[in-house]
Structure 1
Amino acid sequence: MAEAQLCGLRDEITCSLCQDTLIDPVTIPCGHNFCLKCLTDCWDQSQECSCPQCRYTFTTRPELNRNTLLNEVIKKLKRPRLSTYPSQSYAGPGDVECDFCSGKKFRAVKSCLSCMASYCQTHLQPHYEGDALKYHKLVDPDGNLKEKLCEKHQKSLEMFCKTDETCICMMCVVTGHNGHKMIKLETEREEKQKQLGATLSDIKRRLEEREKTLKETRRTMEEMKVRGINMTLHIKE
């Protein structure tokens, strides 16, 4: 029952600015919740202090204090309960293995892009319980983490160099790409996805136009065929 109630709070614990689970949640006077960093950055870049969700404008900038109770609720919601997993399954064909199991390895339930390692349910717990690891980025099990490492520095690929059109790590930024135009890798991925979406939409539009033209051509040919038959009959009469 308690777990069902917590699941029902997912909308309330999601920051409307970053669209992710609240980190260091703060509650402003209008009652809405945001990540401390997200809201601070938002207000620092604006000339007025207003709620990004309901647009209520504050005459003076409210003091932002972490909502301790909400933070504890989020921790409980994010922490997988071991009782939910009565027995862990060993990794089979096609599964990603836990990098920290000794002997026969359990199936990984998450991969960490910060640690560049995969974890079973047991070894994943420190990422939910310790403050030092709570900012790490967890994703679905990924068996190709090595492909996300810089071959030169063995660091995670975090940036995209537009000058050289290549993915690079933070060490590359300072050692070999000084003065180059760079953006975050996720931003580049989003831009490429948008470009791909626009290209696919354009292809779909062109196909629809060609299909329409083809139908009109067929209809015209049918009309001409019918007219030809009618003219033939008329001449015979």
Structure 2
Amino acid sequence: MASANTCWSVENFSCPICLDVFSSPVTTPCGHNFCRTCITKFWDEQVKFKCPVCNKIFDKRPDVHVNILLSELAAQFRTCVRVKDQPCVESAEVPCDVCTGTQLKAVKSCLVCLISYCQTHLEPHQRVVGLKKHRLVEPMDSLEDRMCKIHTRLLELFCQTEQVCVCQFCTETDHKSHPVVPLTEEYEAKRAKLGKIEIEVPQMIQERKLKIKEIRDTVEINKKDADREIADGGKVLTALICCVEKCRDDFNQTVKEKLKSTVKQAEDLIKELEQEIEDQGPYSQSILSYR
């Protein structure tokens, strides 16, 4: 039965009506299985009692009973699915690479096997002579990425010249003249630096936000000042225009009055001269007569 469990699928334990895993499965006279609640509700809504799968019609409403075997299998299947879906370890922990199905938390990682083991699967390394020679370290994820590709050794050091992780053998070859420090030391230094940055960045962001607000406030003040200057300038210019127009009208009026006076003087002079001409008319006639 244990080996058969691996072939189970949700279709084998699904009710044809609700399509979910059986709950209190019952079997109809035609041999099909349904949840008791589903088939009961189905028949309550039908005029004729028939099987939802094969449409076989029954003379009367069948008296169904729970299928004990199917109910137990469905319960086991539901449990298996629930266990399978549960995470075996916390997100910050390393899972065992050997566990199948539900993975347990690893307690050690082997730098020779490049595998992480839970307490159960670690037992051979504690018992077999050849495996006892393997180097075990605290659990690490992505072991292959932590190994030197050239020397197949753990990357335990950090080259400060090339800013890369190296193994002990690397310090004797390509990185022989380079300053190196333990990887943990470099990690702590970078973490401290990162912690400082994490503190400084929010402060910097806050300062930038305050500066932005200050600039925006200044712009708003400048806009209001500009609007006020435009309004004041408009008033001054309007008053100046009124003054110029008044001066123009006064000047025009003065010129017109002066012209009127000049015209009147000219007309009076003309009338006077005409009158003199008219007055000289008889005198001229008498002189002509004398001649």
- Radius of gyration: which is bigger? 2
Please give the TM-score of this superposition, normalised by the length of structure 2.
0.37
Which structure is higher in RCO with an 8 Å CA cutoff and minimum separation 6?
A: 1
Please give the TM-score of this superposition, normalised by the length of structure 1.
0.44
Structure with the higher fraction of residues in helix conformation: 2
